[in-house]
Amino acid sequence: MTGPRETVGVIGSGVAGLTAAHLLQRRHDVTLFEADDRLGGHAHTHELTASDGGTTDVDSGFIVHKVRDLAADFAAVGAQPVGISGDSVLEQSVFATSHSLGYPLLSDEGHEVAKEFGAWRWWLPGGLHTRRQTFVIGQGRRIVAAFASESKFDAHADEALTAVKKQAAG
């Protein structure tokens, strides 16, 4: 006969939290705590409406991995990638640490930076107000290249690296 099951709480329903809850539930009573209104953390699929009225699914949260994977290439030309989103400082810190990014993530909770750079959409529901955009900022804090795509954001890292190499070449 087994004894009573322990009760365990898991905070956060990202990949790590869901995995922990799944594994722990075999031997414990698990309560999953999530502040957001959905599960998944940074792994999030958005259904977007295309101009023809059709829909397309777009996964967000993974462009950061491509930038991380190209970190040595950026460093070789003296460039420092920086990420920014509307997530809190704590969320950014946890995400950067858990994904071993190796570059800073900045918090724009008030969306001031997104608004200044034209990346803010007040009308889009579901908390998707910030457009997926990448900016290459050169000497004198001047924007030397910008890339925007809601569905091909993995290409942002490659395009940014190309722009940085072009700037470095003179």
pLDDT single digits (tens) 35-85: 877 777 666 565 655 556 766 554 455 566 788 888 889 889 888 888 888
- Single-letter residue type at 31: T
| pTM: predicted TM-score of the whole model, two decimal places | 0.58
pLDDT of residue 43: 62
Percent of the chain predicted with pLDDT > 70: 77
Question: Which is more confidently placed, 168 or 153?
Answer: 168
pLDDT tens profile 73-100: 988 988 888 888 887 888 778 778 877 8
* Domain extents in the chain: 1-41, 58-169
**pLDDT class of 169 with cuts at 50, 70, 90:** confident
Mean pLDDT of 132-158: 79
pLDDT of residue 29: 93
Tokens of 74: 């950026």
Tokens of 25: 């539930």
Q: May I ask the CATH class of domain 58-169?
A: alpha beta
Cβ(31)–Cβ(7) below 8 Å: yes
pLDDT of residue 151: 66
